[in-house]
Amino acid sequence: MRPTLTDAQTLDDQDTLADFKAHFALPEGMLYLDGNSLGAQPNAAREALDVTRDQWRDSLIGGWNQGWFDAPERLGNLLAPLIGAGEGEVLVSDTITLNLFKLLGYITESQGRARPIILSEGGNFPADGYIAEGFCHSAGFEHRVLPEGAALEEHLSDQVAVVVLSQVNYRTGQLRDMAEVTRRVHAKGAEVIWDLAHSAGALAVDLAGSGARYAVGCTYKYLNGGPGAPGFVYVRSDCQQAGWQPLSGWHGHAKPFAFDADYAPASGMTRFRTGTHSALAYAPLEASLTLWQHVDMAALRVKSLALTDLFRACLADLFEAHGIEDITPAPAQRGSQVGLVQREHGYAIVQALIKRGVIGDYREPGLMRFGFTPLYLSHADVWHAADQFREVVESGEYRDPRFQTRTEVT
């Protein structure tokens, strides 16, 4: 039987995370199911930006001694417990792309360049493959792609140096068994770099418990750091002195203010810093990560699964008649999103929903993605979003020509 609004409200009455919604600035009348692309703004972010802006105005260069300079390490320590890392194992810096490049160079150097192959995965967000291909082109390695759906073991050998994998697939929401995959890769003498873009802040990541040594991620999605917020890089503590990373910038120097002519890498995660970062970009992220210190990650996961299950249950009877395929994995194998495919009308359905104030996103070919962020979504919100989806599809509203025009960003 299809869930009712009363059912959703009953779940809200039992929600231990319900109070967090008041900490976010959400436009009135909007049902935001796109936190897997860009998270909502924490209320504290505005004040944090004002403080940093005032420091810039009042202290000018002195601001670097008022918390700006050590922000990459400080925010890394705030982020660490959310992904199962220890203090001094995470650096907030640059982007996933740059941090992945750093790790590819760092790991292959630590291996003495003895293994010639870098393996990335097909069928997932292509950016990791792009940077792996670019690294191989510039550094003389061979880039190979793991075909979508292929068994990883069939592509591992003593020639593979590094495997780059996402914990959660950006299209399907498929969640990999990090511990088991890490064990298999390490058993072949290779390293694995985990991309946590769609898992950090979406579920309880356990880097330490899984045996992971390297990871990268972003903070502008589920972690609500703001548009263009810096990425992060994780290196297990016993792997931090293995060599140089290839982007040997000023802030990664052991003594940056000695201005030595020759480079000497800093100890620990600081060696993965590059150049001068944006203090303004770190301010709202720190506000968000401070709020995250009060979140029970186990409760977050329970609510995430409840929200995704509710959305699907509200719409399940609609799919077959309208040519919609639900590609969302089973609960234990999913991240925090629902994926629905309608190859002919998917884009238009999403645009019609956006017009109604229900924000999801679209990815080719035909994929309608809906991200569920437990800190600022209620079960009633999800019920109303599903109700709007039903109205758009059953009425044929999406067939209006205005919903057929493609925008630059989908």
Residue spans of the domains in the chain: they are 5-43+296-401, 67-292
Rounded to a whole number of angstroms, the CA Rg of the chain reads 22
Tell me whether the CATH fold assigned to 5-43+296-401 matches the one assigned to 67-292: no
Q: What is the pLDDT of residues 146-166, one digit of tens each?
A: 999 899 999 999 999 999 999
Helix 346-355 × helix 379-395 angle, to 10°: 120
Residue 374 pLDDT > 90, yes or no? yes
Question: How sure is the predictor about 406, in pLDDT bands with cuts at 50, 70 and 90?
Answer: confident
DSSP characters over 276-291: ---HHHHHHHHHHHHH
Residue 410 pLDDT > 80, yes or no? no
What are the structure tokens assigned to 250, written together?
A: 């000023």
Strand pairing category for 160-166 and 142-146:
unpaired
Q: What is the pLDDT of residues 83-134, one digit of tens each?
A: 999 999 999 999 999 999 999 999 999 999 999 999 999 998 999 999 999 9
Give CA–CA dist 153/188, Å, rounded. 9
Query: What percent of the chain stands above pLDDT 90?
Result: 97
Label residues 2-27 b or e (16+ Cβ within 10 Å = b).
Answer: ebeeebbeebeeebebbebbebbebe
pLDDT at 386: 99
pLDDT average, residue stretch 236-261: 96
In CATH terms, the fold of domain 67-292 is Aspartate Aminotransferase; domain 2 (3.40.640)
The pTM score is: 0.97
SS3 (DSSP) at 380: helix
Residue 135 pLDDT > 80, yes or no? yes
Q: What is the pLDDT of residues 278-334, one digit of tens each?
A: 999 999 999 999 999 999 999 999 999 999 999 999 999 999 999 999 999 999 999
> How confident is the prediction for the chain on average, in pLDDT?
97
CB atoms within 10 A of CB 80: 20
Residue 168 pLDDT > 90, yes or no? yes
Residue 353 pLDDT > 90, yes or no? yes
Residue 172 pLDDT > 90, yes or no? yes
Residue 243 pLDDT > 90, yes or no? no
For the structural domain made of 5-43+296-401, what CATH number should be given? 3.90.1150.10
pLDDT average, residue stretch 194-204: 98
Question: How sure is the predictor about 74, in pLDDT bands with cuts at 50, 70 and 90?
Answer: very high
Residue matched to tokens 């959400």: 26
CB atoms within 10 A of CB 388: 16
Give CA–CA dist 103/108, Å, rounded. 8
Give CA–CA dist 357/339, Å, rounded. 19
SS3 (DSSP) at 35: coil
pLDDT at 407: 83
pLDDT at 45: 98
Report, as residue numbers or ranges, the catalytic residues: 125, 195, 220-221, 369
